[in-house]
Structure 1
């Protein structure tokens, strides 16, 4: 597997981690003329990228740092172009759906409405007729929030990698780095060494096991509930939890936030909590019998909730694009562009300083 870059050939990038962030970064660098190899310890997009609900907005964006919304906002038009392009080239439709979202949080009509006005985003007050238990109160409709089907997006991106000539090495764990004069120049795997001009770490919750980056796993548990396609039309957000209607009628219920463990087992306690949340909104007492699946995903949480994007100051040659927590999907396209700009020496359209691996963040 050993390889090296030559002055007469395209520069070579190795990407460690084939989630949505890693694959979009690989595609962006391939578009810029680099040769790209992607390694993943398992199958592409089968961890957090597969497990997430696919909401194309931070949940209650006014509760997040501005740096999170900056990447999320920049990603929305990129998804509008990406989804149909992937469907056409790969035959796999990621099902980008402009479903809108109804926010039922108590501060939605005050803090949320003000934030939307300041951001120039549409927000409409409407009766929260969905709620059937507890006090009825108005909700805030955000029609610009959409969703994407995460498993289909992952399959489409993996197919696009291959179509674009990216080498995808699945079930090939990176166990260490190749160094030369203090610089990272490649990776070590069970199959041997692979050398490159630069290495990009996009291993999500596992990033901290490979390099000194402050990323920890945050377990999230979700349910899928069988329902008629007409049962729910919009995403519903309520105090950090949500309902997501799919085109086929399935409703996703999420999610827990459990930091600090790589344990991917589901728990009866989380199932009961999520069912109680869904029942309180939908009013269906028989939801327990309609549960089709219960699963977990491990999100990569950073200490300040902002992703880490840039070259590692202690490991020259190692670049990082990780720590997106529960907003990796919505920030992924713009994160990939920002990383590619920095790696290629191009002045980014987005201020890169909030995402840099500064000593205070490491």
Structure 2
């Protein structure tokens, strides 16, 4: 189990979305949770999001997965696997120490393997990232946050910028952690064959929220009402939008937000959707409620699928939002949210009396059959 060597509360107070920093020895005695061969195997799979990036002088080469590893150059190349926590249990354990941040902000674990000189060039991201150095060494440079960095188009698949003056310029060794908030330019390249593990947190944009809510309103026929004004006055200036009419139309739009329970439902469903493919394997044959009960009562463990997003509102803990869907239990099953959304695995010991509630067992059986929870061998 990976454990941070520093106070996360102090880190949040001093650095979170304020300034970048390198935490030397953020993990003590760090060991890669996945081997290069295993990572390459993932990159060769159709379902896994992967990229190959190489530099040849001033030219860049980018390929998207599934990758093959024939006829590779000796150095100056990397390959990257997104959402590795969805596909490899050992790698997913690296996310656990960062659960002190809200899961709804968490995006994915990205893993890169680089030969000497390998990297993606200077660029700017709009998410928070903790980059843990695994085996090997890597030089990282981070610049100040500014609005006027000039983009450089060296390859259509890369959004790079021109050089910057670093405020951080250090060599990272196994267990060191680099934190970069949104908007800070950075550039890292391997000094020797190495692996890097990036735990990313991505906040939603206003545009995304507006677009998603509009889709929800349409799908649920919310606000399917025309503008109505029986007191419409006659006018000479037929091309004008009178202020009173503008105010009425604006009020129509704002009234869509005057449904707190619907907003909560939409938000829960929206935030529980994953941006990355999940390794879902539905139970075959389907489990029965009695099988689920007997499995847990015998002391066995159920585990949540890597990357599955499961949330709840503390004031409504009997309503769960899992992978874009809403699941409602009787109110007396409120503690189910803690087991299913806060914890990554459940046992009869942790469930206590909840294990004996038929509605909880029925829901858990449904989730097992969907492939969202699975029995640990």
Larger-gyration structure (1/2):
2
Relative to its length, the structure with more helix (as a share) is: 1
TM-score by length of 2: 0.22
